[in-house]
A and B are shown apart, each in its own frame.
Chain A
Amino acid sequence: MKYLDEYRDGEVAGKIVAEMRRIQTRPWVLMEVCGGQTHSIVKNGIDQLLPEGVELVHGPGCPVCVTPLEMIDKAHSIARRPDVIFCSFGDMLRVPGSDGDLFTIKSNGGDVRIVYSPLDCLKIARANPTKQIVFFAIGFETTAPANAMLAWRAREEKMANVSLLVSHVLVPPALEAILASPENRVQGFLGPGHVCAVMGYSEYVPISARYHAPIVVTGFEPLDILEGVLMTVKQLEEGRAVVENQYSRILNESGNLPAQQLIGKVFEVSDRKWRGIGTIPNSGYRLRKEFAAHDAEKLFDVAEIATMEPEICISGEILRGIKKPHDCPAFGTLCTPQHPLGATMVSAEGACAAYYAYGRHLKPAPLHQIVPNAAPEPAAAGGGRS
């Protein structure tokens, strides 16, 4: 298929890997940030092609995985209400809360619907004027513009029965949290292609400089990922640390400006809790107060829900690149996609679920000993978000 087959060519893949072998002199640890990249790596067996010593660890970029259990429980308690039609992206339906998943709620009589676009909620709202239509607005910057558009249109068109349960997270603060951790092993990043298609990549420049870590904004097809790895290894070998763009057929440095403007009008930056990681300051979006009439958290009296994650689960360490799924004693035994114990097993894009689905026939590779990056420069170098 045009625009796909070109990026799945086994022969070209071999050439990129050969070049990697030629330039590589020591072990390197790279993190792919996006869940879509993790899925593609494990599904296509890309990690099996890499030279020994180039290790990929899997980042926090699966929006389903990092949505905190409290938020999922909130969503479920709203979805159970008889006056609500609860709309969600498809892969959120299988994510278990403290008591079942959205499929269970649906089979109990709850009205739960999969939508392909958030704007489908407007159509559903017009057809069901006596019902409250609640959309579960989760995701990274990638889904933010479409979700913002729903809030914007709902307000413009005075649709009082449309609201959003917002749990949006942002990539740059998570990268900083990983790099600032004393346990950090990650030396370079494959940056999130689709997030940067919306936001551009200028906000990654100060992070790369401050922590002296190369960031190569990368696509999702096998050759995109191999080329992204090659570009990152090349920077590391040459002692450089800058932001580069592998995915130039899709994005440029400034990103999608109209989308950014819409996001700015609807959302404001707020602290967010990440499942498996904890609260990261300024790491998410919430609705601005002008949109309070469409904010499901304000409309529905959902009590604070306290939850506890099982101690055995190491998803926090996996999301920060310190451990891999095979390091977990529960992986594939107590913890499977049917019975997930934690964040990284719940969605197809989570590292544990991807390993389980596609890679459980492989023997785990040992973690490489690496020389840590230079200490971060003083905070004055920037890295803040506005």
Chain B
Amino acid sequence: MLRPNLLLRAEEDRKPMANPPDTTKERQQETETPVSPLFGSCPIPIFEHKQIVLGHGSGGKLTADLIDKIFLPAFRNPVLDKLDDQAVVSIGGARVAFTTDSFVVTPIFFPGGDIGRLAVHGTVNDLAMSGAQPMYLSAAFILEEGLPVDDLRRIVESMRAMAAEAGVQFITGDTKVVDRGKGDQIFINTTGIGIIPDGVNISADRARPGDAILLSGYLGDHGMAIMSQREGLEFEGAIESDCASLHTLVAAMLAAPTATPDFIHCLRDPTRGGAATTLNEIAKRANVGMHLNERAIPVRESVRGACEVLGLDPLYVANEGKLLAVVRADMADAVLAQMRAHPLGRDAAIIGEVVPEHPGMVLMKTEIGGTRVLDVMFGEQLPRIC
């Protein structure tokens, strides 16, 4: 029988056992004699993924594990260690924000946008979340053999239009083509740089107890638009992606009238992993707690309905045109007013506050008056059985 002190040994026992090479023949053998590596000793289902699984790209706990265990140990330096959505460095006296992002969405055209549109907004927004004025972008395309040229033309036209709207220029790029089956139609990488104005100092580690937490509008539109398209689900009132460039909204927020500047402490756009994951990241980076009020969080009726049907939580669904701001308490109302006067912040709301208690943990007051922990997403959100 198993004793508790064997639990740890069992974990060690597993380490030297590499997975069999991924060949069909070997997998067949495995199927015929289903022997667990722990068979006869200890079949506790403790395991670490030995291969990449989809959850590693979800923006949740598994993604953070990859960063902590593989990327950071290799690349560690003071700029990277901040783990913001963009790096901030001084070059020739200017404070430059620098970021990169890859786009692999399927379907490549969806209600409210396409992969090209996302590729511009995503990178512009990562720059904007440092308070930077976005300036220049690069674009790298990985195309799969067989992609219709008309689709590529449509995507590039959409990138042109969005860049013009955002006031940024593509100044360099790259093209690669891979064999049919080696990619999924088109992957796009964009990199961007921008200049941060003097006096602006925004970073996830600057959240302080007492700060207000603001959200710029309805949560979950992008993720549910993609999911309804991908799964062929039809909901009453079509859900459109919210994808948009947020730098003009950020500029409006920074322009809130005050005698004491430096009032926006953190900005993040809650993309993969949703608002819950983003707020947890800020709470951990700044070593503070957070209290949210579920009733104050704006979620569109159609998105709520779709989430209810699928057993998903809108707080974990991706957004592409929303931001979360942690703002000095005395400026919360003024910043909120600036947001609501901007077309991308019409439905903005104060959704909670930063507290000194339970550092690193986000709690939410539920609609009926209980409280619960709002955790990071572990892997991918999965529809429940019933």
Q: Tell me if A360 and B373 are in contact (CB < 8 A).
A: yes
**A residues adjacent to B (C-beta < 8 A):** 1, 4, 8-10, 13-14, 36, 42-49, 63-64, 69, 73, 76-78, 80-82, 89-94, 96-101, 103-104, 106-110, 114, 116, 138-140, 142-143, 194, 222-223, 302-303, 305-312, 329-330, 334, 337-341, 348-349, 357-361
**What 0/1 pattern do residues 170 to 195 of B give for CB contact below 8 A with A?**
00000000000000000000000000
**B residues adjacent to A (C-beta < 8 A):** 1-4, 7, 19, 22, 24, 27-28, 30-31, 33-34, 36-39, 42-47, 49-55, 61, 231, 233, 301, 304-305, 308, 310, 358, 361, 363, 366-373, 375, 378-379, 382-386
Q: Tell me if B38 and A13 are in contact (CB < 8 A).
A: no
Q: Tell me if B375 and A357 are in contact (CB < 8 A).
A: yes
Known: A94-B382, A337-B378. A46 touches B36 (CB 8 A): no
Which single member of A90, A311, A359 contacts B382 (CB below 8 Å)? A90
Q: Tell me if B379 and A80 are in contact (CB < 8 A).
A: no
A344 to B47, CA, bound (A): 17
Note all chain B residues with C-beta closer than 8 A to A96: 45, 47
Q: Tell me if B379 and A103 are in contact (CB < 8 A).
A: yes
Q: Tell me if A116 and B231 are in contact (CB < 8 A).
A: yes
A140 to B386, CA, bound (A): 9
A48 to B365, CA, bound (A): 11
Q: Tell me if A303 and B383 are in contact (CB < 8 A).
A: no
Q: Tell me if A77 and B34 are in contact (CB < 8 A).
A: yes
Which single member of B2, B33, B47, B51 contacts A107 (CB below 8 Å)? B51
Q: Tell me if A73 and B34 are in contact (CB < 8 A).
A: yes
Q: Tell me if A341 and B61 are in contact (CB < 8 A).
A: no
Q: Tell me if A222 and B367 are in contact (CB < 8 A).
A: yes
User: Distance in Å from the Cβ of A102 to the closest Cβ of chain B?
Assistant: 10
Note all chain A residues with C-beta closer than 8 A to B385: 63-64, 89-92, 138-139, 143
User: Distance in Å from the Cβ of A352 to the closest Cβ of chain B?
Assistant: 14
Which single member of A91, A97, A139, A143 contacts B383 (CB below 8 Å)? A91
Q: Tell me if A103 and B34 are in contact (CB < 8 A).
A: no
Q: Tell me if A4 and B308 are in contact (CB < 8 A).
A: yes
User: Distance in Å from the Cβ of B195 to the closest Cβ of chain A?
Assistant: 41
Which single member of A91, A107, A340, A360 contacts B45 (CB below 8 Å)? A340
A139 to B386, CA, bound (A): 8
Known: A89-B385, A308-B42, A334-B7. A45 touches B34 (CB 8 A): no
Q: Tell me if A308 and B43 are in contact (CB < 8 A).
A: yes
Which of B24, B30, B31, B304: most chain A CB closer than 10 A?
A: B31
Known: A90-B384, A99-B38, A109-B22. A104 touches B372 (CB 8 A): no
Chain A residue with the shortest CB-CB distance to B7:
A334
Chain B residue with the shortest CB-CB distance to A16:
B368
Note all chain A residues with C-beta closer than 8 A to B308: 1, 4
A341 to B386, CA, bound (A): 23
A80 to B95, CA, bound (A): 52
In order of increasing CB-CB distance, the 10 nearest A-B pairs are A45-B370, A96-B45, A90-B382, A98-B36, A358-B372, A77-B34, A90-B383, A98-B43, A89-B385, A103-B53
